[in-house]
Amino acid sequence: MSLYSFGLDPVSCHAWNKDRTQIAISPNNTEVHIYQKSGKEWTKIHELTQHSGRITGIDWAPISNRIVTCASDRNAYVWTLKDKVWKPTLVLLRINRAATCVKWSPLENKVFSGYIKDIEEKPGPTAWGSKMPFGEMLLEQGDDGGWVHSVCFSPSGNSLAWVSHSSTICVTDAANKKTVTQLKTEYLPLLAVLYLNETEIVAAGHDCCPYQFSYMGPDSLKYIGKIDLPKQNSKVNMSAMQHFRNLDKRATTENENTDLETLHQNSISQLCIVEGDRSKVTKFSSVGLDGDMVIWDFKVHLILLWNIFFVGGQITGLYYLLYKKRESKNKVTVQA
């Protein structure tokens, strides 16, 4: 686990380059800042300043090394590095509302999800359907009582998870008649969700720490636990610098520790994969409204258990079950 602060401004979204030596963040304004890792520090090397509205989405293509951004100005830009300068190209979105999310396609030849006849081969049947004309509604679900903050497909693409403002996490399983499984949590609303493998999901939001969930099939969405390192609070003499920091960040000069017992000190706004492929993520990052970025280590251990099934008093089978246990080094609408 590692933590780095990019200053006092909230970080609304971020994206990594291919080798994770550079990170692009937006400090909740019209700019994108690109930082280069130098030892244990991050140095700002570029600023992208073409948008006129608050930036809401960033994605960095690993193969072509291009960056795409979208914002509340209803525009998207593709940025290409030429002679050590990022050059923008405007993408016409033809929308009348703010763009809130943007991603590269797997082939990095377009910046939205959809089949284009002149670019790609016709898609084959999937768990979502065999014939999928462009724009066809494949699923509509609105029974969780809150607006959706984030969605994420599983590595296979057969399941879709989303989190909403009702403090609910939901998973729909296309391979099982698109059954929707809901889990109402006792926590504050979740703002971001990410699959770590085909069954393990991490979500985070206003509680300032990531939570792990496990989906094993319809009606089997379980809360596993919190992934965080509680901070050890201790009273210390306050320096003049800390005095003014408290005045700036908390509007108080009191010599008392008001830090949360989590690494992030404000809501987590986004989660991204740092290490491992989508089917086996070993590290992921989070950014938050506290201006911090945290890289989390994640490991799943397989423990062999025996399970004996009884039917009518008779042993009908003896099976191996694999039980997934998290070990953290931290101690600390679908459309075709």
Which pLDDT score, from 0 to 100, does residue 33 have?
Answer: 97
Q: pLDDT band at 8, cuts 50/70/90?
A: confident
Determine the average pLDDT of the residues in 54-60: 96
Which pLDDT score, from 0 to 100, does residue 39 have?
Answer: 87
Cα–Cα dist 67/78, whole Å: 6
Whether 87 is in a domain gets the answer yes
Number of domains in the chain: 1
Whether 92 is in a domain gets the answer yes
Whether 277 is in a domain gets the answer no
Which pLDDT score, from 0 to 100, does residue 141 have?
Answer: 82
**pLDDT of 161 over the 80 cut:** yes
Say if residue 191 is exposed, middle or buried (CB neighbours under 10 Å; 0-12, 13-18, 19+): buried
Cα–Cα dist 10/276, whole Å: 27
53-64: buried (b, 16+ CB within 10 Å) or exposed (e) per residue? Answer: eebbbbbbbeee
Whether 318 is in a domain gets the answer no
Whether 295 is in a domain gets the answer no
Which pLDDT score, from 0 to 100, does residue 54 have?
Answer: 95
- Output 222 or 336, whichever has higher pLDDT: 222
Residue whose structure tokens are 């951004």: 69
**pLDDT of 318 over the 50 cut:** no
Q: Are 138 and 125 in contact (CB under 8 A)?
A: no
Q: Nearest CA to 6 among 21, 24, 19?
A: 24
- Output 333 or 216, whichever has higher pLDDT: 216
Of 37-46, 147-156, 327-336, least confident by mean pLDDT is 327-336
- CA distances, 174 to each of 137, 156, 218, 256 (Å): 13, 11, 10, 52
Whether 62 is in a domain gets the answer yes
Return mean pLDDT, the chain.
82
Q: Write down the pTM of the prediction.
A: 0.78
The tens digit of pLDDT for each residue in 172-205 reads 999 999 999 999 999 999 999 999 999 999 999 9
The tens digit of pLDDT for each residue in 84-123 reads 999 999 988 888 888 888 999 888 877 654 555 666 677 6
Q: Nearest CA to 220 among 193, 181, 178?
A: 181
Whether 207 is in a domain gets the answer no
CATH for 26:
2.130.10.10
Which pLDDT score, from 0 to 100, does residue 309 have?
Answer: 38
The tens digit of pLDDT for each residue in 298-316 reads 876 443 333 333 344 443 3
Cα–Cα dist 139/153, whole Å: 13
Which pLDDT score, from 0 to 100, does residue 321 have?
Answer: 36
Cα–Cα dist 193/73, whole Å: 25
Cα–Cα dist 236/311, whole Å: 63
Rg (CA), the chain: 22
The tens digit of pLDDT for each residue in 115-142 reads 556 666 776 788 888 877 767 788 888 7
Which pLDDT score, from 0 to 100, does residue 66 have?
Answer: 96
Whether 244 is in a domain gets the answer no
Which domain range does residue 27 map to?
Answer: 1-114
Beta strands in 112-156 (DSSP E): 148-153
Residue whose structure tokens are 């970025």: 293
